[in-house]
Structure 1
């Protein structure tokens, strides 16, 4: 584990950029960026276009280490290059931004009010490649839709079981049990979730480090006590479908919680914008998310 990167993530002022839409969400991400499906005819062409989009974001002067601590990549992005350097190396060596990797394969069907992770059959090989490509940590997302104690317990147990496997490779897992922002019993789900998180954290070995990626809580500063748990490097928040403005406003009320936004980060960016327009909008977005994160 790179101690300089660990210190940056643990104590740095800023946020984590999520550039990890993948698989089924890639066409939607491209569409939001102004690229219609008739611009590509197969998966390879689609991923080339999405890499060009991400490269444009990463290379923008607005995407800098003064505001952005880390960036989460999709596997396909990790395997590609920017200006002749593998993406993770470019991020760290040229930008000073810590690289993470999304490792999950998507969500299972809804059961007990939750969606668990689908099996990740090639996880060991993926983690080996991540280490070779100088990745610092990983991310995997489950979803909680109802305050179902059994379902929430299963989500957190599964996340930590895989998280321990990831930590054994010297990587820092981001545990992401997202509570659906439209859930009618969101606050009740968050109470159950926090209890399960404390329970699993208490059972970890003393040297295991994890991050948590959580929905912005219904009750302000609800996760404050989790931030002091010795295994927790940092708690980051997902935008979860809130608009950028709403996500920032809610985040700013939660002290110590920093952003790890995806849709809210790329909101308004378009393939048709000039570099000057693109960079100006991204700069405003980055500044706004940064300011909400450091409050």
Structure 2
């Protein structure tokens, strides 16, 4: 399809800085492509699954850390990185009674998708019992991107169709693919295009095999830039992503997004309030994300447990055309892990800690959260420069 690049008056540029690209000016062409989207054998199921995950007062528990990253979490409480210890920790999380009241989906690592509890029940069945949709991380991680400004791209498209088909048979109904964009590295036009194209190809392949794709171009918190710079980059990244999603005939009603919140860089001299973060983040979404997308499931990106919840709550103080919710890993697990300490006698207390955090974010999804009474531990930031897993 031929496209025409349109110019924009400089008054529309953030701070007078030219955007990385002008895909956002191509909305007529995007709509034209979207009109050709075919209806596949899984379309109805995809839409139903996405709506189920994006249900009021519920969000996603992300426990899709690779074995290496899970090992780092375990070592922080003095445990060895063994399959038995990984199984014990994930069993604690996935068998928490009542978790389904606040959690609608759980993203698993491949090992966990095929694992069972120590008493023989498949983890997938534990989730189904709580009416939680099982999901699966399908990317193969970040590698250096040749020709870029020291940036990365996400690998894993080779063999993805057959893997998705197997994951569907195992019980997974949605997928996750994470790539990253670094503001201190530019980001280069090459890195943004590679991220967007890879996400679009993954999304099309996942949908062809019955899995709702979570689309996640994480804009890393690294840097000392102002929030306006983050907004500029985020708008360009999401314009590119939706351009290629449309080109690949992805059904927008059958996807979920996992964006970063629009915040200043972690090293910026001034922190932004939840209200400011909500304002800039919703501005970006309203400019770039079609209302056909059922759910926006934010990542926490190294924010403290309380910060992530406060920011989510602020975004739900106004009416949105989407379900604005959470897909948190560390912001749901940090206190849980420290409460557990690898001791069987602490499992019940750790599960209660998980329910407290899950409920807090459930209430924030409804716009009714207050941080009054939160523990000091939950207020500690978890930012790690150049975080990968």
Q: TM-score range by the shorter chain?
A: 0.7 to 0.9
Can you list the C-alpha shifts for 1:196-215, whole angstroms capped at 9, x where unaligned?
13322433437462211111
2:94 maps to which residue? 58
Can you list the C-alpha shifts for 1:245-273, whole angstroms capped at 9, x where unaligned?
11112222223421100011111222236
1:145 maps to which residue? 182
- Change over 3 Å in CA distance of 1:248–1:113 after alignment to 2: farther
Report the secondary structure of 2:257's partner residue.
Answer: strand
Shift of 1:31: 2.5
- Per the normalisation by structure 1, the TM-score is 0.87
Shift of 1:226: 4.9
Unaligned runs of 5+ in 1: 41-45
- Change over 3 Å in CA distance of 1:201–1:229 after alignment to 2: farther
What count of residue pairs does the alignment treat as equivalent?
284
Counting only pairs closer than 5 Å after superposition, residues 94-113 of structure 1 correspond to structure 2 as: 94-109=129-144, 111-112=148-149
Report the secondary structure of 2:210's partner residue.
Answer: coil
Aligned mates of 1:149, 1:91 — CA distance in 2: 40
1:240 aligns with 2:301: yes
Report the secondary structure of 1:72's partner residue.
Answer: strand
Can you list the C-alpha shifts for 1:112-157, whole angstroms capped at 9, x where unaligned?
4642112444423321211111211100110100233332122011
* Residues 19-28 or 2-11, more deviating: 2-11
Aligned mates of 2:69, 2:221 — CA distance in 1: 19
Asked if 1 retains the 8 angstrom alpha-carbon contact of 2:177 and 2:215, the reply is yes
Unaligned runs of 5+ in 2: 1-41, 264-279, 317-322, 368-389
Shift of 1:5: 3.6
Shift of 1:292: 2.1
1:223 to 280, 285, 294: 285
Shift of 1:89: 2.7
Shift of 1:280: 2.5
* Residues 109-118 or 134-143, more deviating: 109-118
- Change over 3 Å in CA distance of 1:31–1:291 after alignment to 2: farther
2:60 to 13, 16, 36: 16
1:198 maps to which residue? 242
1:123 maps to which residue? 160
Can you list the C-alpha shifts for 1:43-62, whole angstroms capped at 9, x where unaligned?
xxx22211210111111125
Aligned mates of 1:56, 1:48 — CA distance in 2: 12
Aligned mates of 1:226, 1:78 — CA distance in 2: 33
RMSD: 2.2
Report the secondary structure of 1:205's partner residue.
Answer: coil
Asked if 1 retains the 8 angstrom alpha-carbon contact of 2:235 and 2:288, the reply is no
* Residues 53-62 or 14-23, more deviating: 53-62
1:277 to 346, 349, 360: 349
1:89 maps to which residue? 125
- Change over 3 Å in CA distance of 1:18–1:206 after alignment to 2: closer
1:7 aligns with 2:51: yes
Report the secondary structure of 1:116's partner residue.
Answer: strand
Aligned mates of 2:85, 2:196 — CA distance in 1: 35
Can you list the C-alpha shifts for 1:40-80, whole angstroms capped at 9, x where unaligned?
5xxxxx22211210111111125x22111100000000011
Aligned mates of 2:68, 2:105 — CA distance in 1: 24
Report the secondary structure of 2:135's partner residue.
Answer: strand
* Residues 106-115 or 17-26, more deviating: 106-115
- Per the normalisation by structure 2, the TM-score is 0.67
* Residues 163-172 or 285-294, more deviating: 285-294
Report the secondary structure of 1:60's partner residue.
Answer: coil
1:132 aligns with 2:169: yes
Asked if 2 retains the 8 angstrom alpha-carbon contact of 1:13 and 1:69, the reply is no
Aligned mates of 1:67, 1:293 — CA distance in 2: 10
Structure with bigger strand share is 1
- Change over 3 Å in CA distance of 1:290–1:16 after alignment to 2: same
